[in-house]
């Protein structure tokens, strides 16, 4: 076995970059640490500007041939990648759980099947992508989607492979080449994806994977003049730096950023359902951008809701994410744990009351927390914590509910629990959010547009919206009877 290969739960993972169809090592490395026990999994190649330049060059060199590849062939290869994901589903699941601490049962049953689905969906969507021709004064307009060029995709640590392939699959389907930069806290499954893609027959240079810190390799990627698209999921401050870096080349951006989403519970709601929806916000230890972390409950049912919520949430089992019975795993990194704890400590010092939780546990675990007695303008209500911390506020009527729901800088998602369909229609029409769920949560369909408003992001992806971003749209206008045969 190579000196650059780790064995993670029995699975071999190469720690080097994947550039131009070859493994490339860097002189320096960085440690990859498992949040489960804080132990170092191994040392990962630490790329800098040199590796960034090489990866973009490889993507640029591979672009003409891949762009000229027929839609049918591109779709076939994407389906072959999906086959490879399904073949190695168990390996991908255990490696990602070891790397980022999310539940193994969720990776097996939901996350990794979704990875395969990402490739199959965009492969199939590509084959039916079309716009009906239309006429202007007898002239025919024909809309087409042309490959844009090399794309830089920078992905987060909370759902590493699923969110990476949510970007990689449409970019490749569109005929682009890709440089994927996974988060340094969870890089391992991106390396496995490179192996799977190569085995599926994806030509060298079409997908490149580089690892490292944002300041050392990310800036070099986002400022490169040959990059034609940048897609990023992560924090607002990082997105602002990426936007500044991309501005010199006017590189188009797609940004899916933070959220501080509301979950509104009206008195006419099914309270058992509302409680279930609220407790579900602790999924992945609260490390979900879409989570409805601000519980807004109608005053007349707030006491009963809080009692039921505390009872149900307190029964959640927190521990090793590899255990089938575990409901909540660890936070990703000691730095993230300290950030979460800091938010809660400052909130309590300012007068908030912890109904449940409010403290760290052994290792990198933070107790599921619900804070009440919080002011609308307080930090804990206005800023994204990205951990298992919810706040609860009350409202007296629809007007106040909507006002509180919209009173942040974000607008990623919202969840509404009500038994009145007319109220649901009125309220959802006024919420500032890219996605609104009514009496449900986290139901996602790749045919739907996904993205955020305000500081929650720029652009929409999913279905044709993804191709609109990853392509240069062309409209060809042809004159009527304009053909002359010069024989």
Tell me if residue 256 is catalytic: yes
- Looking at residue 233, its pLDDT comes to 96
Beta bridge partners, 233, equal 256
* CATH homologous superfamily, domain 262-438: Aldehyde Dehydrogenase; Chain A, domain 2 (3.40.309.10)
Query: Mean of the pLDDT values across residues 196-222?
Result: 96
**Structure token digits, residue 85:** 């994901």
**Based on the number of CB atoms within 10 Å of its own CB, is 487 exposed (0-12), middle (13-18) or buried (19 or more)?**
exposed
Q: Could you read off the pLDDT of 360-408 as tens digits, one per residue? A: 999 999 999 999 999 999 999 999 999 999 999 999 999 999 999 999 9
Q: Could you read off the pLDDT of 431-444 as tens digits, one per residue? A: 999 999 999 999 99
- Looking at residue 229, its pLDDT comes to 98
- Looking at residue 2, its pLDDT comes to 75
- Domain map (residue ranges) of the chain: 5-257+456-475, 262-438
Write down the catalytic residue from 51, 96, 256, 298: 256
Query: Mean of the pLDDT values across residues 7-23?
Result: 97
Looking at residue 61, what DSSP letter applies? H
142 φ, ψ (degrees, to nearest 5): -125, 120
Give me the chain's average pLDDT, please. Answer: 96
- Looking at residue 70, its pLDDT comes to 98
Query: Mean of the pLDDT values across residues 18-42?
Result: 97
- Looking at residue 481, its pLDDT comes to 79
Per-residue pLDDT band for 3 (boundaries 50, 70, 90) equals confident
CATH node for 5-257+456-475: 3.40.605.10
99, 111, 297, 364, 390 from 35: Cα distances, Å: 7, 19, 34, 6, 22
Write down the catalytic residue from 96, 289, 384, 471: 289
**Residue that has been written with the tokens 């080449």 in this structure:** 177
Q: Could you read off the pLDDT of 63-108 as tens digits, one per residue? A: 999 999 999 999 999 999 999 999 999 999 999 999 999 999 999 9
DSSP notation for 2-52: -TTEEEETTEEEE-SEEETTEEE--S-EEEEE-TTT--EEEEEE---HHHH
pTM score, whole prediction: 0.96
Tell me if residue 130 is catalytic: no
Q: Is the pLDDT of residue 1 over 70?
A: no
Query: Mean of the pLDDT values across residues 127-152?
Result: 96
Q: What per-residue string of b and e applies to 310-340 under the rule 16 or more CB within 10 Å gives b?
A: beebeeeebbbbbeeebbbbbbbbeebbeeb
């Amino acid at each position: 076995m190579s000196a650059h290969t780790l064995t993670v739960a029995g699975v071999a993972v190469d720690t080097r970059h994947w550039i131009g169809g070859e493994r490339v090592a860097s002189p320096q490395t960085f440690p990859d640490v498992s949040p489960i026990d804080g132990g170092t999994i191994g040392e990962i190649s630490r790329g800098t500007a040199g590796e960034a330049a090489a990866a973009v060059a490889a993507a640029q060199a591979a672009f003409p041939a891949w762009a000229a590849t027929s839609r049918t062939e591109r779709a076939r290869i994407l389906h072959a990648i999906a086959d490879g994901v399904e073949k190695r589903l168990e390996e991908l699941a255990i490696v990602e759980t070891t790397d980022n601490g999310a539940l193994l049962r969720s990776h097996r049953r939901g996350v990794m099947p979704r990875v395969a689905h990402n490739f199959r969906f965009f492969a199939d969507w590509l084959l039916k992508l079309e716009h009906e021709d239309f006429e202007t004064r007898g002239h025919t307009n024909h809309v087409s989607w042309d490959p844009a060029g090399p794309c830089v995709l920078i992905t987060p640590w909370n759902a590493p492979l699923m969110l990476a392939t949510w970007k990689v699959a449409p970019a490749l389907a569109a005929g682009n080449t890709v440089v994927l930069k996974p988060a340094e806290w969870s890089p391992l499954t991106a390396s496995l994806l490179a192996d799977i893609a190569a085995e599926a027959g994806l030509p060298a240079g079409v997908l490149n994977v580089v690892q490292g810190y944002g300041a050392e390799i990310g800036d070099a990627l986002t400022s490169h003049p040959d990059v034609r698209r940048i897609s990023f999921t992560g924090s607002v401050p990082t997105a602002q730096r990426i936007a500044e870096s991309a501005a010199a080349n006017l590189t188009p951006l797609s940004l899916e950023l933070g959220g501080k989403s509301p979950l509104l519970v009206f008195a006419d709601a099914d309270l058992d359902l509302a409680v279930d929806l609220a407790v579900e916000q602790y999924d992945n230890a609260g490390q979900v951008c879409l989570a409805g972390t601000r519980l807004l409950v109608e005053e007349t049912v707030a006491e009963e809701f809080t009692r039921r919520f505390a009872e149900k949430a307190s029964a959640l089992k927190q521990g090793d994410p590899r255990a089938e019975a575990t409901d909540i795993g660890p936070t990703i990194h000691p730095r993230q744990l300290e950030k979460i704890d800091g938010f809660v400590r400052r909130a309590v010092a300012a007068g908030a009351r912890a109904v449940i939780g409010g403290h760290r546990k052994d290792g990198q675990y933070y107790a599921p927390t619900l804070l009440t007695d919080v002011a609308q303008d307080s930090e804990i209500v206005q800023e994204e914590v990205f951990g298992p911390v919810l706040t609860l506020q009350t409202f007296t009527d629809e007007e106040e509910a909507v006002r509180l729901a919209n009173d942040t800088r974000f607008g990623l998602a919202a969840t509404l629990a009500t038994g009145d369909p007319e109220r649901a229609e009125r309220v959802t029409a006024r919420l500032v959010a890219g996605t609104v769920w009514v009496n449900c949560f986290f139901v996602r369909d790749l045919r739907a547009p996904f993205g955020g408003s305000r500081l929650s992001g720029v652009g929409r992806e999913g279905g044709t919206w993804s191709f609109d971003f990853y392509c240069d749209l062309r409209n060809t206008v042809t004159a009527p009877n304009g053909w002359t045969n010069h024989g």
